[in-house]
Amino acid sequence: MRFRWTNLNPTLRRAILVVMIIVVWQLWITLAHVPQLLFAAPLDVAQTFVTDIGNGSLVGATVHTLEILIIGMAIGGAIGIVLAAFGVLSSVGHDLLRVLTSAFNPLPAVAVLPLAMLWFGLTPNSIIFVVALAAIWPVALNTESGFRTISSTLRMVAQNLGLRGPRLVFDVLLPGALPQIITGAKTSWAFGWRTVVAAELVFGVAGAAGGLGWYISNARYYLQTPAMFAGLVTISVLGLLVEALFNAVESRTVVRWGMSLAPEAREEAPAALEEEAARELVAP
């Protein structure tokens, strides 16, 4: 049988590409004599990884960043869900949510950092504040639309059974809106993640110790280029891990219940199109 790229396991396909990129990167640095101060080679980055995980500085920075991010997102997410509930319960709440989201959603939360520093000082609270601000709107908007898209038939069934109050919320509205809540949480995570790193960079420049942003900024200060790369790789890998976590939650809930497509199915779509195009070309 002829070799076909799409016949390989998707994880294997990606792994092959990653290895190839790293090899090309290393070869380029070694063969082109790129100054080590400007661009680090993969082997040096790997070495920094090992040392800085060993001495705890990279682990400490990661834990610090994640801690702030989780607290900020939990606060933002809770406020977002409450706002969404107001949005469906009253028309004033709905309009308020529109006004607030159109005012704050286009605003990069990190732009509020100087104000937050004025209010909370050079403390983690300032960063928690901006992360929460970044997380609220995607959760609120998506959750509200989730509540609204629950079919009128399901609502009538709930009424028919006599469901009211918290039981209606927890047994019907929240699970019914779960696909959109997860979508909102994903977007919030993406916003929050960017915000926390940016805020830490600003803090790092200002001299306050802390998370991954500070780790990178600190590495620049001491001209440790491989450490800057190690920080970037950590941020990227953590992003992937969290995405995998979201996918696992989805496949255990909304995908299993037939309320959303499987993440793999969504990702496989381009390959399927490619196949179709190939078939069309072959056809007389």
Q: Which residues bind another protein (CB under 8 A)?
A: 151, 153-154, 156-157, 159-163, 167, 171-172, 175-176, 178, 253, 256-259
With a CB cutoff of 8 Å and minimum separation 6, the contacts of 237 are: none
CB of 160 to another protein, least distance (A): 5
Nearer to another protein, 126 or 143 (CB): 143
CB of 211 to another protein, least distance (A): 37
Helix (H, G, I), strand (E, B) or coil at 107: coil
Nearer to another protein, 29 or 172 (CB): 172
CB of 96 to another protein, least distance (A): 22
What are the backbone dihedrals phi and psi of residue 159, each rounded to the nearest 5 degrees, phi first?
-60, -45
**Rounded Cα–Cα distance for residues 119 and 258 (Å):** 46
CB of 93 to another protein, least distance (A): 19
Nearer to another protein, 53 or 262 (CB): 262
**Rounded Cα–Cα distance for residues 73 and 188 (Å):** 7
Nearer to another protein, 137 or 147 (CB): 147
**Rounded Cα–Cα distance for residues 266 and 274 (Å):** 14
**Rounded Cα–Cα distance for residues 49 and 231 (Å):** 9
**Rounded Cα–Cα distance for residues 123 and 4 (Å):** 54
What are the backbone dihedrals phi and psi of residue 253, each rounded to the nearest 5 degrees, phi first?
-120, -90
Helix (H, G, I), strand (E, B) or coil at 261: coil
CB of 149 to another protein, least distance (A): 12
Nearer to another protein, 14 or 167 (CB): 167
CA distances from 58 to 65, 69, 198, 211, 250 (A): 11, 16, 17, 9, 30
| Angle separating helix axes 225-252 and 57-89, nearest 10 degrees | 40
CB of 153 to another protein, least distance (A): 4
Nearer to another protein, 102 or 159 (CB): 159
